[in-house]
Amino acid sequence: MRRLFALLLPLALLLAGCSSGSSSSQPSPSSQNAGDLNALSSLKVTTTDKAPTVDFKKPLTVSSLTVKMVQEGSGAAVKAGQSAVVNVVALKGTDGSVLGDTFSSGQPEKVPVDSSLQQQNATLYNALVGAKIGSYLAYATPPVSAEQGGDGTTTLLILKIADAKDIPAPLSGPQGDTVTPPPGLPKVTTDSKGVPQIDVKGVAKPTKLISQDLIKGKGAVVQSSDTIVANYVGVNLSDGTKFDSSYDRGTPATFALSQVIQGWTDGLTGKTVGSRVLLVIPSAQAYGDQGQGGAKGDLVFVVDILGVQ
């Protein structure tokens, strides 16, 4: 299942790109409120050992991305460049019904408070930078039409900042012990520049996901909720045609494992930083039989896991 905040954040990023909200792109050393604050004047949040009790005048509608400090914590302040660990309860603005809750599951979200978030959503970035651990923030999104991926209602998120952690610098390449794969898998070599080359000749159609270490890293274990930094190459199993490569772009990719194809989420969860992983992914765990862009049917990837956030 995709993580709650990972499902809601892309909608917020869309709104940030379309809105001319009042938040500044320059961060402050203290958390900033922003947006349609009057709409949250009736909001009451009662903290408990688990998810807070939330009450507000219904229906709730905000005219722009809105964030408000509800209760300030007493811990250290979140710094730019860290990863904020947050618990989230999401509610529907029309009736207050709960859409999701990480407090009860014990699986908080990780939000990299980095330049990417600052560029995509200054409102959220400026609210997190300077907020103290233990703080509760209210974060509301204006209605978005079905054509844009919404349901025409405001969503209210109550975030509790549980922790903030420094993000280790990513590796420059895979590091670890070489692993000899079993026979029958695509053959992987590297060219003079160290870029993986994938040979799919004679490889059978997969009946299930294959996730095979080629280099076993010795770093942190990747969680399904992590955002990872990785270099990768992807080809079609049918003919070996390359359809995507971060190497061609000259920079590693950064993405949440909750927001990629199922074969990536399942195949990379549990792997370790520093690993080079061969993924052979059935179409059902990729883009389906219809494909997407140049990616068609069963897919093969080589992924170098360089870091987690």
What string of pLDDT tens digits covers the 309 residues of the chain? 344 555 455 444 444 444 434 444 444 458 999 999 999 999 999 998 889 999 999 999 999 999 999 999 999 999 999 999 999 999 999 999 999 899 988 888 888 898 878 888 899 999 999 999 999 999 999 997 777 767 889 999 999 999 999 988 899 999 999 999 999 999 999 999 999 999 999 999 999 999 999 999 999 999 988 889 999 999 999 999 999 999 999 999 988 898 899 999 999 999 999 999 999 999 999 999 899 999 999 999 999 999 998
Residue 217 lies in a domain: yes
Same domain, 133 and 262: no
Same domain, 123 and 200: no
Domain boundary among 117, 140, 166: 166
Domain boundary among 166, 185, 212: 166
Residue 109 lies in a domain: yes
135-146 core/surface letters (b: 16 or more CB in 10 A; e: else): bbbbbbbbbbee
Same domain, 158 and 192: no
180: which DSSP letter? P
Record the pTM.
Answer: 0.69
Provide CB contacts within 8 A for 113, sequence distance 6+.
78, 79, 80, 81, 82, 83, 84, 125, 128, 129, 164
Residue 283: CA count within 13 A, CB half-sphere:
13
How many folded domains does the chain comprise?
A: 2
Same domain, 239 and 259: yes
Residue 299 lies in a domain: yes
Provide CB contacts within 8 A for 154, sequence distance 6+.
59, 60, 61, 62, 93, 94, 140, 141, 142, 143
Tokens of residue 167, six digits = 């993000």
Same domain, 145 and 193: no
Q: Do the Cβ atoms of 222 and 273 come closer than 8 Å?
A: yes
94-110 core/surface letters (b: 16 or more CB in 10 A; e: else): beeeeebbbbeeeebbb
Domain boundary among 166, 200, 230: 166
Residue 171 lies in a domain: no
4, containing H or E segment:
helix 4-18
Same domain, 102 and 205: no
Same domain, 8 and 113: yes
Same domain, 204 and 255: yes
Same domain, 55 and 183: no
Residue 133 lies in a domain: yes
Same domain, 146 and 238: no
Residue 260 lies in a domain: yes
Same domain, 237 and 107: no
Parent domain of 271? 176-308
